[in-house]
Amino acid sequence: MAAENLLASNLGLEALMAGVKVGQQVNESGDSLNADTRTRAVAALRQVVYTVKEQNRLQGDSGSVLSVSFSPDGETLASAGSDGTVR
């Protein structure tokens, strides 16, 4: 299953999203899905849910993040990237 492969590749958040998608498909399929496939899908979803411990991540920087600063109230942060940008 895709979720298991993503989990094995240390892509926890992506694995969790794939697992949830499979879970939704299993739920929507009702009784039309054979029992073995349903069992495997549910087992994979359980594995992902109980294994993934995703931390917050910065997205949008194309290079390395060189520095991060938080606002005094702790609600906002700015990152300085190796590409010369501040986000």
Residue pLDDT, tens place only, 9-67: 777 778 888 888 888 888 888 888 888 888 888 888 888 888 877 666 667 656 788 88
Cβ atoms 48, 7 nearer than 8 A:
yes
Is 78 a residue whose pLDDT tops 70? yes
Residue 57: the pLDDT is 66
Residue 29: the pLDDT is 87
Cβ neighbours for 73, distance < 8 A, ≥ 6 positions apart: none
45 shares its domain with 14: yes
23 shares its domain with 40: yes
Tokens of 81: 């990237």
73 shares its domain with 39: no
Whole-angstrom Cα distance, residue 66 to residue 71? 17
65 shares its domain with 43: no
Residue 47: the pLDDT is 84
47 shares its domain with 79: no
Q: Which residue has the higher pLDDT, 46 or 4?
A: 46
Angle of the 12-29 helix axis to the 35-51 helix axis, nearest 10: 150
Query: What is the number of domains present in the chain?
Result: 2
Is 1 a residue whose pLDDT tops 70? no
Residue 86: the pLDDT is 85
Cβ neighbours for 41, distance < 8 A, ≥ 6 positions apart: 1, 22, 23, 25, 26, 33
Range of the domain at 65: 58-87
Cβ atoms 19, 3 nearer than 8 A:
yes
